[in-house]
Structure 1
């Protein structure tokens, strides 16, 4: 599974993997129950690869945040996204100490932790993502 093909669809719980595209829709498969569905062009879709978290220096790509969370939890699931806002913020501050707490809301933190736990649950290995992208960069250069 490629990180670059994982999306979030507004109004639908969980994450999805892009399978193919048709003229008017994207065919996706749920990472939770492997059910396929068509997402039409009127629905908001976000590639996880394009999402970043505000920090005081520069925006941190979501993949880097996930890698930091994976290192912090030693590849295990993080605390539940249903914990109190203070616990979630404290955990997020340990993972990303320089995040902008005025622009990153508790709802954003909940969503990031929920997505991280879902990816860990299905066996996603964040250490391998960097190796794949490095290989692709080398192939593009040659």
Structure 2
């Protein structure tokens, strides 16, 4: 997947998204993904969800779609221009969701979830960014031969 959400978290009671920086004895140090990043300690009592672990329900009861994959679909389909007005109504969010993930479960995915999805996508797009799929694949394949050459050079010494 072109986007890595393993170090990005949403913290209950706090707006926006945060990058996990380091663990502490009482929680974790996080840095806000905003225009003016701030570092703070998220206490162990605060509920923190890594975006990498979040999925969206689909109509198939056994299947969910990871958030990173949904973000990739949004990026491919819309890029920077989400089809939402300045203050979108509920039906706009539902239409947006149907375009991105046609088989989402309407009973278990609420409009508030759709609002978070759109908001989080904008933050991730601005502060983390997306790699082109071809670039990500070529970087991975280019890195493998270099690593093997490095191992061979060490063995010869």
Instruction: State the TM-score, normalizing by the size of structure 2.
Output: 0.77
State the Cα distance separating 1:121 from its structure 2 match.
2.3
Aligned residues of 2:28 and 2:43 also touching (Cα < 8 A): yes
RMSD (Å) for aligned C-alpha atoms: 2.6
Deviations 1:42-76 (A, max 9, x none): 00000000000000121000001101111111x21
Partner of residue 76, structure 1: 80
Q: Which residue is 2:92 aligned to?
A: 87
The 1-side partners of 2:86 and 2:46 are apart by: 25
Partner of 1:49: 52
Measured in 2, the distance between the counterparts of 1:61 and 1:100 equals: 14
What does the per-residue CA deviation read over 1:78-130, in whole Å, with 9 as the maximum and x for residues that have no partner? 236841000010011001000001110000000011100111222511546x9
Distance 2:46 2:85 in 1: 28
Structure 2 residue 22 is the aligned partner of structure 1 residue 17: no
Match of 2:31 in 1: 29
When Rg is computed on C-alpha atoms for both structures, the one with the higher figure is 2
- Is the contact made by 1:70 and 1:126 (CA closer than 8 Å) also made in structure 2? no
Pairing of 1:123-134 with structure 2 (within 5 A): 124-125=129-130, 127=132, 131=136
Q: Return 5+ residue gaps in structure 2 as ranges.
A: 145-157
- Find the aligned partners of 1:30 and 1:97 in 2 and give their Cα distance: 32
Give, in whole Å, the separation in 2 of the partners of 1:68 and 1:59: 15
- On the 8 A contact 1:16/1:29 being kept in 2, the answer is yes
| 2:149 alignment counterpart | none
Deviates more, 1:64-73 or 1:115-124: 115-124
Is 2:117 the counterpart of 1:112? yes
Secondary structure of the 1:3 match is: coil
